[in-house]
Amino acid sequence: MMNVEQLKKDFPIFQHHPELVYLDSTATSLKPHVVVDAEREYYEHYGVNVHRGVYALSEQATAAYEGAREKVRKFIHATSTKEMIFVRGTTEGINVVANTYSQNFRKGDVILLSEMEHHANIVPWQALVKWIGVELRWIPVTEQGDLDLTNIDELLKGVKLVAVTHMSNVLGVVNDVKFLARKAHTVGARILVDGAQSVTHFPVDVKDLDCDFFVFSGHKMLGPTGIGVLYVKEEIGKTMEPYQRGGDMILEVTKETATWNELPWKFEAGTPNIAGAIGLGAAVDYLNQLGMEAVWIHEQELAKYGREQLAHCPGLQLLGGNAASPRGAIFAFELAGIHPHDVGSILDEQGIAVRAGHHCAMPLHARFGLAATTRASGYIYTTHQDIDRLVAGIKKVQEVFA
Ligand SMILES: Cc1ncc(COP(=O)(O)O)c(C=O)c1O
């Protein structure tokens, strides 16, 4: 069992805002001291460029940067660091694939998405409809909030790429991407898994999932903003053209042409986010110390408690409240007759931070006939008291609008 009260002391933000009830971790997580310290240490002690210098400080920076890559490799159980490309985050990771792997697509090829995707896993593919003439097809979401896989064999006809979220940032449901990977591979398609929410909350093993691409963001898993990872199976990465071109991603340049560096550096043109990668490495160390199994146990327990407590709020409708899939502590809800922005503002007056809007999932909201919801989401530092304060806050919102 995680000692959450003790663990909260690791997060400086609670010293600055002792009364804060932070329920917006799906948007971004808070950062522990160790992450902030790792970034500061880099800038203060060896803040020079990587891969370039022959001097000791540059070698130290390179070792720390590449060491962070090894940490994230182990964290998701990839085979080789050649498969671990540092990017700005999930959004950039998906854009890399959409801009480079798409060279394999032809007019009429199908990309299979789901109705519960974040815009980051929709909009880059829409560009390919324009540029190449691919077709986008959608796995439906049931009324309960699960992926409807009843007709998956039919849906997979002509599919070249399946791109699905591992864990919904609105419903909190965890999708069976291992099953989808097996299905995709039987029709010769590749699968990209959006791991922005999953890798933060439970153990992920990309080899076991057998996904071809896996993307995630550091800032949702206690790490800094502006750093994330695109995992690409080595055999696929080798065949992909670079995403951006410039320094560090080349082997040799003449006036006429250039040859590419090895994986993963072929995809990391220019000076990378060195401090961010080192900070992400520190976040991985911190999560490993807690143990991802323990993180998931805490999360599921919190999800259960939250659902039970929110069920007592009259007029509150939880999106995906009856889903059969495993679920994390993400609660998107409607409050009868009250606009989510009003809910969010009145909760804020009580020191409770939630998100209001479409949460970058407009097609999912449209599926449920909604324009917006209020979303409360927890993480390792979230307590039962935080949920109780939320429930009390919602009562206050209802009193204001009574
Ligand atoms: C499921 C999912 N995918 C993608 C993203 C985009 O992540 P980022 O903004 O870090 O690129 C998010 C962020 O909320 C997300 O929850």
Q: Exactly one of 68, 360, 372, 380 is catalytic; name it.
A: 360
What's 4-31+291-400's CATH class?
alpha beta
Q: What sign results for the dihedral spanned by CA atoms 37, 40, 46, 47?
A: positive
Query: Average per-residue pLDDT in the chain?
Result: 97
Identify the band that residue 402 occupies on the pLDDT scale cut at 50, 70 and 90.
confident
pLDDT at residue number 1? 75
Identify the band that residue 163 occupies on the pLDDT scale cut at 50, 70 and 90.
very high
The four Cα atoms 290, 353, 18, 218 give a dihedral, to 10 degrees, of 30
Q: Which helix (H) or strand (E) holds 85?
A: strand 84-87
- The residue contributing the CA closest to ligand 1 atom 9 is 91
Cβ of 386 less than 6 Å from ligand 1: no
Q: Residue 217 CA: which ligand 1 atom is closest?
A: 10
Span from the CA of 172 to the centroid of ligand 1 (angstroms):
13
Cβ of 93 less than 6 Å from ligand 1: no
Span from the CA of 165 to the centroid of ligand 1 (angstroms):
10
Q: How far apart are CA 199 and CA 28, in angstroms?
A: 13
Q: Residue 219 CA: which ligand 1 atom is closest?
A: 10
Q: Is 315 left (phi over 0), alpha (psi -120 to 50) or beta?
A: left
pLDDT at residue number 238? 97
- Is position 313 annotated as part of the catalytic site? no
- Listed by start position, the domains of the chain span 4-31+291-400, 36-288
Render pLDDT for 82-139 as a digit per residue (tens, 0 to 9): 999 999 999 999 999 999 999 999 999 999 999 999 999 999 999 999 999 999 999 9
- The residue contributing the CA closest to ligand 1 atom 14 is 27
Identify the architecture of domain 36-288 in CATH.
3-Layer(aba) Sandwich (3.40)
pLDDT at residue number 245? 95
pLDDT at residue number 54? 87
pLDDT at residue number 39? 98
At 251 the three-state DSSP class reads strand
pLDDT at residue number 151? 98
pLDDT at residue number 144? 96
**Range 74-85 average pLDDT:** 98
What Å distances lie between residue 61 and 67, 192, 275, 387, CA to CA? 10, 31, 9, 42
Render pLDDT for 248-295 as a digit per residue (tens, 0 to 9): 999 999 999 999 999 999 999 999 999 999 999 999 999 999 999 999
pLDDT at residue number 26? 98
| Cα of 171 vs its chain's centroid, Å | 14
Span from the CA of 117 to the centroid of ligand 1 (angstroms):
10
Q: How far apart are CA 190 and CA 213, in angstroms?
A: 8
Q: Same topology for domains 4-31+291-400 and 36-288, yes or no?
A: no
**Range 309-319 average pLDDT:** 95
Count other C-beta atoms under 10 Å from residue 80's C-beta. Answer: 12
- The model's pTM is 0.98
Say if residue 53's pLDDT is above 80.
Answer: no
**pLDDT > 90: percent of the chain:** 98
Span from the CA of 400 to the centroid of ligand 1 (angstroms):
33
Lowest mean pLDDT among 35-39, 49-53, 63-67, 348-352: 49-53
- The residue contributing the CA closest to ligand 1 atom 16 is 169
- The residue contributing the CA closest to ligand 1 atom 12 is 196
